[in-house]
Amino acid sequence: MGKAIFLNLPVADVAAATAFYAAIGFERNAMFSNEQGSAMAWSDTISVMLLDRAFYATFTSKQIIDAKTTSGVLLALSFDSQAEVDAITEAALAAGGRELHDPEDMGFMYSRAFEDLDGHGWGPFFMDMAAAAATMGGAQPN
């Protein structure tokens, strides 16, 4: 296995969280899913592990935050267009998520923000790298 990222999120209801993430384009990996958690793939190298809060607690001695009232992490996903940013945000809202702020268009970057059923915040965005380089006064990255 090459380098990969697995984000572990505590959830109140694994089935409901699984349905939410499936509705916004993640794919469930049955090999690593059961009643305690669902492995939801975003890409070949990025997965979100939706873990029942009691099961999540077996991995840490720290108090588990309530993401509806406490921010522990902000997660961003890049997209190839503003339309894709809008599509995932609209899918999240239709699946029971909550929009966190109005769309933000900075010219070179467009973003929205939503939270899932458990309050975990996601910030889908599109960035035009050539426009960003021109705006920021730097060379475009390789």
pLDDT surpassing 90 at residue 2: no
What are the DSSP E strand ranges found in the chain? 5-11, 27-34, 37-41, 46-52, 74-79, 98-105, 109-115, 121-127
Q: What angle do CA 135, 137, 141 make, to 5 degrees?
A: 90
Q: How far apart are CA 65 and CA 104, in angstroms?
A: 28
β-bridge pairing 37-41 and 27-34: antiparallel
Q: pTM of this prediction?
A: 0.89
Instruction: Output the pLDDT for position 47.
Output: 97
In the numeric block, which tokens belong to residue 99? Answer: 């929009």
In the numeric block, which tokens belong to residue 14? Answer: 């694994």
Label residue 1 by pLDDT band (50, 70, 90).
confident
Label residue 139 by pLDDT band (50, 70, 90).
low
pLDDT digits 0-9 by tens, 46-100: 999 999 999 999 999 999 999 999 998 999 999 999 999 999 999 999 999 999 9
- Mind listing the domains of the chain with CATH numbers? 1-52 (3.10.180.10), 72-142 (3.10.180.10)
Lowest mean pLDDT among 2-6, 14-18, 60-64: 2-6
**To the nearest whole percent, how much of the chain has pLDDT over 90?**
87
pLDDT surpassing 80 at residue 124: yes
Q: How far apart are CA 65 and CA 74, in angstroms?
A: 13
